[in-house]
Structure 1
Amino acid sequence: MNLKGKRALITGGSSGIGMAIAEAMLSKGAKVVISARRQGVLATAVEMLSKTGPVQGVAADVATEEGRAKMLAVANEKLGGLDVLVNNAGGVRAGRLEETSEADIRTMIEVDLVAPIMLTRAALPLLRASGDGMVVNVTSGIALVAAPFYGTYAAVKAGLAKFGESLRRELKNEGVHVMTVYPGATETPMMASNRAGPELGFTREPASAVADATIAGMEEASFEVIRGGEARTKMIALNRENPGALDKRFADLKPALLLAVRDHSAL
């Protein structure tokens, strides 16, 4: 896909990976609408991004039907249509399952899985009308190799990845491509309450690196973008060929990992 002139809606675009993708797309000549729940943070992001290219903001909650409808209405009005939908908004709550509240579990399911499915469903008529449309689903490396204390988050991100795979095949040769992004640990506000470092498998990279890889994948119409380099590739292979070995590795890390991630919350 040539991003010049393309019209994009990016959920969760006021910070982190979403904002980095917005900036990268603007630098390629795209026109962008970003969404976020908090008006103040959104306004600051729009002001910063406007230095790079034409951007609009819409304050709306992706977890609600009304919020999703508002996003699409604003994108259609301001951009005159839609070529790219980036499902980036998400939330996380780590910790032992029995110590995670039902409310937090349901929020992750609604925001990380139900919302992008429903928003994509509602956006498809606009994306089809584009003739050169794309859906980008931002999941997580945990969808490929699930870590302890992230049970619900791993489930919803893996679900979003398989949703994208199925939809890609459903829409093949119909003018809409679907790509899945698997970021590793990334320096974002969402990761601020996670104290796990490289010794526990959380080697962080800047959001701009994820965005640049995402843009390259979009331009090449890739099926997926997996971050984490050779180490991630080896873990994925080991998880497939000898999952028990990873179980043992995680078992050795569990006490320290729980201490590091038990306060990890961004909902």
Structure 2
Amino acid sequence: MDLNDRSILLTGAGSGIGRALALELARYSPRLALVGRRPGPLEEVAALVREKGGEAVVIPADLTAEGAPAQVVAAAREQLGGIDVLINNAGNVRAGRLEAIEESEVLAQIGLNLTAPILLTRAALPALRASGEGAVVNVSSGLGLLGMAFYATYGAAKAGIAHFGEALRRELHGEGVHVLNVFPGATDTPMMDSSDAQAQHGFDRESPEEVARATVEGLVAGELTVVRGESMVRMIAWNREDPAAVDRTLAAGKDELEKVVADHSSL
């Protein structure tokens, strides 16, 4: 896909992978609609995009609010003149034992990680079709491919958006809209600040800039998936071959993992 001079709607753009994606995409002189809950960080990213030669508008929004996805898409179409690429990047997390997580925390994760991107995509499809070479990018997670203790709801939502992307790609095959699923491993973003999980726990971290670069390269190359994190890739492959062995291996470190992710929350 040629990303030069494209209109791109990017959610979760104020920090982390979203911020890195905005700056990586700025090399292509795009028109970016930056979406997030807080106007301040979005304005900072927009200024950096403009310094790099791109155009940027800011659309503050809570994507889990009723009607927000359709409103955001309408605002982006109006301000950009269309939408060529939708990047569903916004996400949240709350780790912990399922029975210890509040119902509101379960619903918040499903709302932002799964429901919102589905509704955004649904609203954006007419514009993406009109583009003639449209694309949807879903930023899932390695935990959407590998179930991890204490991330049951998060993993379910991230697996759901990945399956949504795969099904939609086949639904839209030959119709001018490509779908790319991205599976980051642990990434050094504000979303991970409250987690003490490190490489010895299976969470070897990389920078958001590395994830963004791989995502944009995958989009340009027309890839179907981008999976990040060497240990995550190995564990996913092993889980396909012998899931019971993975169960036994992870069980040995389960108590320690529960401790280091006990406060992991971005809600």
TM-score (norm. length: structure 2): 0.97
Give SS of 2:122's match: helix
Contact map agreement 2:70 2:119 (CA 8 A) in 1: no
**Counterpart residue type for residue 135 of structure 1:** V
Note if contact 1:14-1:46 (Cα within 8 Å) is conserved in structure 2.
no
Q: CA deviation at 1:115?
A: 0.6
Shift of 1:23: 0.9
SS of the equivalent of 1:63 reads coil
Task: Name the Cα RMSD after superposition.
Answer: 1.0
Which letter does structure 2 place at the counterpart of 1:57?
V
For 2:44 and 2:262, the matched residues in 1 are separated by 30
Q: Deviations over 1:206-229 (max 9, x none)?
A: 100000000010001110000013
How many residues are treated as equivalent by the alignment?
Answer: 266
SS in 2 for 1:266: coil
For residues 70 and 14 of structure 1, what CA distance do their matches in structure 2 show?
Answer: 19
The code of the aligned residue for 1:249 comes to T
The correspondence of residues 109-128 of structure 1 with structure 2, limited to 5 A, is 109-128=110-129
How many angstroms does 1:64 deviate by? 2.2
Q: Secondary structure at the match of 1:116?
A: helix
Moved more, 244-253 or 136-145: 244-253
Alpha-carbon separation, structure 2, partners of 1:15 and 1:232: 23
Q: Would the aligned equivalents of 1:60 and 1:70 in 2 still touch at CA under 8 Å?
A: no
The answer on 1:17 being equivalent to 2:17 is yes
Separation in 1 of the partners of 2:15 and 2:45? Answer: 7
Could you tell me the TM-score, scaled by structure 1's length?
0.97
Q: Please tell me the residue identity of whatever aligns with 1:253.
A: G
Alpha-carbon distance in 1 for matches of 2:65, 2:126? 19
Q: Find the aligned partners of 2:193 and 2:50 in 1 and give their Cα distance.
A: 26
* 1:75-107 deviation per Cα after TM superposition (whole angstroms, max 9, x unaligned): 112211000000000110000001000000001
In 2, the alpha carbon distance for the partners of 1:23 and 1:37 equals 19
Kindly indicate whether the alpha-carbon contact (under 8 Å) linking 2:202 and 2:232 is maintained by their aligned counterparts in 1.
Answer: no
Stretches of structure 2 that go unaligned for 5 or more consecutive residues are none
Match of 2:228 in 1: 227
Q: Map 1:11-160 to 2 at 5 A.
A: 11-52=11-52, 53-160=54-161
Kindly, what percent of the aligned residue pairs are identical? 48
**What are structure 1's unaligned runs of at least 5 residues?**
none
1:26 CA drift (Å): 1.1
Contact 1:92 1:266 (8 Å CA) reproduced = yes
Match of 1:182 in 2: 183
Q: CA deviation at 1:125?
A: 0.3
Q: Which moved more, 1:217-226 or 1:38-47?
A: 38-47
**Which residue pairs with 2:239 in the alignment?**
239
SS at match of 1:33: strand
Structure 1 runs, 4 residues or longer, greater than 6 Å off: none
Name the amino acid aligned to 1:77. E
Offset at residue 242 of structure 1 (A): 0.6
Tell me, yes or no, if the aligned pair for 2:22 and 2:45 is still in contact at 8 Å: no
2: CA distance, partners of 1:131 / 1:247: 46
| Deviation of 1:250 (Å) | 1.0
Alpha-carbon deviation of 1:138? 0.2
**1:250 aligned partner, one-letter code:** L
